[in-house]
């Protein structure tokens, strides 16, 4: 059995990270393609979950809540930085739990999915629109970035806490 931090464990973390990146990116791009085909015209809607959510095709040139409209080049650079930094962290940090590598892969995959949109069309395809509350229109990548960040911060806190305890022992 491989020791934590050994190359076998590192290999598993790296594979899990890149699998998460690829699966999230593929799921994001597939759902966007389906919605673009289904709705075709920006602003078009279709009921998804009655009284909860509809599909609404929106092309967003900004970030969350349309902040930073027209700053696609900056968001592309940020996505590349996040992808590189998370990949390097997963590769270099010793004893990183597999769950942390996967959650970081989800964040990086979501960023990559939105980056692909920005490069190809200059805007991110958003389509989930809540009807029970006024909220931003979002997509699958946004869900993985948001949830992945929350899980990553929790796991990093636990990882740092466990590392600190081992250092004192």
- Catalytic residue (one of 28, 117, 126, 134): 126
Query: CA-to-CA distance for 26 and 169, rounded, in angstroms?
Result: 44
Query: In the annotation, is 142 catalytic?
Result: yes
95, 117, 142, 160: which is the annotated catalytic residue? 142
- The DSSP 8-state label assigned to residue 3 in this structure reads P
Closest CA to 126 of 78, 80, 65, 72: 65
Cα→Cα distances 112→22, 28, 116, 159, Å:
9, 9, 6, 25
Largest CA distance in the chain: 62
CA distance 106 to 2: 25
134 is catalytic: no
Q: Which residues pair with 47 in a beta bridge?
A: 54
Which positions are annotated as active-site residues?
126, 142
């Amino acid at each position: 059995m491989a020791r934590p931090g050994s190359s076998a464990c590192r290999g598993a973390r790296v594979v899990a990270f890149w699998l998460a990146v690829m699966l999230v990116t593929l799921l994001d791009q597939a759902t966007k393609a389906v919605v673009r085909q289904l709705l075709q015209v920006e602003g078009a809607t279709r009921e998804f979950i009655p009284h909860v959510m509809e599909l609404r095709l929106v092309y967003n040139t900004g970030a969350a809540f349309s902040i930073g409209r027209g700053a696609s080049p900056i968001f592309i650079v940020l996505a590349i930085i996040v992808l590189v930094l998370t990949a390097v962290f997963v590769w270099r940090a010793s004893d990183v739990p597999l769950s942390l590598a996967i959650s970081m892969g989800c964040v990086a995959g979501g960023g990559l999915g939105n980056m692909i949109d920005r490069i190809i069309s200059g805007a991110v395809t958003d389509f989930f629109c809540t009807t029970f509350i006024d909220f931003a229109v979002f997509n699958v990548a946004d869900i993985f970035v948001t949830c992945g960040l929350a899980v990553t911060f929790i796991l990093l806190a636990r990882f740092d806490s466990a590392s600190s305890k081992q250092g004192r022992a």
